[in-house]
């Protein structure tokens, strides 16, 4: 299996893994400033709570794309795993297309909101930052999500989706691929692993 290495090339191919930690770091620092602000009355930082709110919302939208990339969205696996492999592929593609339509609608509505904020020149109350900038992770997250959905659908059609590479016996879905190979439950085809 390929090991993910955190380097510039990897982060450019997977921007979700760069954006999410930065958002979390800024949220953490803002929360610390907010706590210090409450302890030291002379320190005034009313913008911290607002920044935390906007970044947490942005983190949710980037997290959607990250979950698609990792194929870790919530699903009903007990029913889904009972279908044969070909049926699961069809179900997964239909699911991703429907999910993609929903994300495109959210992205379009988010873009319309951003354009409205720009036209009106709206700013945030405490930060006085352009509202379109603070709400832009919605559109960015939608674009990343659509890209990841297309990537997943292509992987299914090319038979490179990790879920369908191996014939995992029913009831053993929770075990890692390495553990299933070690125990002899699945065989490795030539070219699947290096």
Q: Determine how many CB atoms are found less than 10 A away from the CB of residue 31.
A: 14
Q: Establish if 22 belongs to a structural domain.
A: yes
User: Is the overall model pTM greater than 0.85, yes or no?
Assistant: no
Rounded to 5°, angle at Cα 121 from 115 and 123: 105
**Within this chain, do residues 141 and 181 fall inside the same structural domain, yes or no?**
no
In whole angstroms, give the CA distance from residue 83 to residue 165: 16
**Within this chain, do residues 85 and 172 fall inside the same structural domain, yes or no?**
no
**Within this chain, do residues 116 and 20 fall inside the same structural domain, yes or no?**
yes
Number of domains in the chain: 2
In whole angstroms, give the CA distance from residue 92 to residue 102: 15
Q: Establish if 3 belongs to a structural domain.
A: no
- Show pLDDT as tens, one digit a residue, over the chain (194 residues): 445 566 778 777 888 888 999 999 999 999 999 999 888 878 888 899 999 999 999 999 999 999 998 888 777 777 777 788 889 899 999 999 999 999 999 999 999 999 999 999 999 999 999 999 999 999 999 999 999 999 999 999 998 887 777 766 666 766 777 777 788 777 766 555 44
> At what angle are helices 85-120 and 131-157 packed, to 10 degrees?
160
**Within this chain, do residues 170 and 92 fall inside the same structural domain, yes or no?**
no
Dihedral pair phi/psi, residue 130, rounded to 5°: -60, 130
């Amino acid at each position: 299996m390929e090991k993910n290495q955190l380097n510039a090339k990897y982060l450019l191919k997977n921007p979700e893994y760069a954006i999410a930690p930065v958002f979390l770091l800024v949220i953490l620092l803002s929360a610390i400033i907010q706590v210090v602000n409450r302890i030291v009355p002379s320190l005034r930082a009313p913008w911290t709570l607002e920044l935390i709110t906007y970044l947490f919302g942005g983190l949710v939208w980037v997290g959607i794309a990250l979950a698609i990339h990792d194929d870790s969205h919530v699903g009903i696996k007990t029913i889904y795993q009972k279908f044969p492999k070909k049926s699961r592929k069809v179900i997964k593609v239909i699911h991703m297309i429907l999910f993609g339509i929903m994300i495109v609608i959210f992205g379009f509505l988010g873009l319309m909101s951003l354009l409205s904020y720009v036209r009106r020149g709206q700013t945030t109350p405490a930060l006085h930052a352009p509202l379109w900038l603070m709400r832009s992770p919605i559109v960015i997250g939608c674009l990343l999500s659509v890209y990841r959905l297309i990537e997943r659908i292509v992987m299914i059609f090319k038979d490179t989706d990790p879920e369908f590479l191996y014939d995992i016996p029913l009831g053993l879905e929770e075990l890692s691929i390495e553990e299933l190979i070690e125990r002899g439950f699945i065989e490795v085809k030539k070219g699947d692993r290096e």
